[in-house]
Amino acid sequence: AQRVTQPEKLLSVFKGAPVELKCNYSYSGSPELFWYVQYSRQRLQLLLRHISRESIKGFTADLNKGETSFHLKKPFAQEEDSAMYYCALSGRSNYQLIWGAGTKLIIKP
Amino acid sequence: ETGVTQTPRHLVMGMTNKKSLKCEQHLGHNAMYWYKQSAKKPLELMFVYNFKEQTENNSVPSRFSPECPNSSHLFLHLHTLQPEDSALYLCASSQGLRAGETQYFGPGTRLLVL
């Protein structure tokens, strides 16, 4: 079955601490993985995609095909990182996104 | 206004009412989507349109009826809904339907069915 799992519904860390939001997936082909973010009172938006291999707002994510994971990391959390984070997957030939249930990240001052 | 807009932002309706949700995108995109977002659940794709043609209907009950008169506008007509249909309904658009296309979301319509 094709599935995206975000095991943590809520993650709370102190400002300046490292952050890792977990994402595991189950997919039979070669997936493309994404992280979308929704800040308070803002709309859902793309944060980054694995194929771009870029760092956005200090966040990075590496696709680990062996562990079927795409964890989102940031070495030093900022208060403005508080938001809902969604991991999503699509196939290389399929535009439909399969979504995780999301993780609420709270950065404590 | 730029981006993807949705109206109304909040809607309360009875089970016998008929209402419509509206989505408009100002990005020049060709594909538009309706999603349902229930609390603590993954987003559920409901319908997809590409160049005004419906390409996906993910087993959505017939009490939800989409309409796409052109590539910029998307409607979701609602009738005889159930309380379990209460959710946030998100509209999104993308340039096309290629794998990996970024989807751009509207702010959503918060629907409560009484």
Pairwise CB contact (< 8 Å): B94 & A95: yes
Pairwise CB contact (< 8 Å): A100 & B42: yes
pLDDT of residue B79: 93
**For residue range A4-48, what is the model confidence (pLDDT) as tens digits?**
999 999 999 999 999 999 999 999 888 899 999 999 989 999 999
Q: Say which residue, B40 or B69, is predicted with more confidence.
A: B69
pLDDT of residue B1: 58
pLDDT of residue B41: 87
pLDDT of residue B59: 87
Average pLDDT in the B5-12 region?
A: 96
Pairwise CB contact (< 8 Å): A43 & B107: yes
The phi-psi region of residue B52 (left if phi > 0; otherwise alpha if psi is between -120 and 50; otherwise beta) is: left
**For residue range A46-105, what is the model confidence (pLDDT) as tens digits?**
999 988 878 889 999 989 989 999 999 999 999 999 999 999 999 877 788 999 999 999
Three-state secondary structure call for residue A41: coil
Place of tokens 């751009």: B104
Average pLDDT in the B4-31 region?
A: 95
SS3 content of chain B, % helix, strand, coil (to 5): 5, 55, 40
Q: Say which residue, A53 or B7, is predicted with more confidence.
A: B7
| Residue A81 contacts B, CB cutoff 8 Å | no
Instruction: Tell me which amino acid residue A16 is.
Output: G
**For residue range B80-93, what is the model confidence (pLDDT) as tens digits?**
999 999 999 999 99
Q: Say which residue, B54 or A19, is predicted with more confidence.
A: A19
Query: Count of A–B CB contacts within 8 Å?
Result: 52
pLDDT of residue A95: 82
The phi-psi region of residue B23 (left if phi > 0; otherwise alpha if psi is between -120 and 50; otherwise beta) is: beta
Residues of B in contact with A45 (CB under 8 A): 104-105
pLDDT of residue B2: 76
| Residue A31 contacts B, CB cutoff 8 Å | no
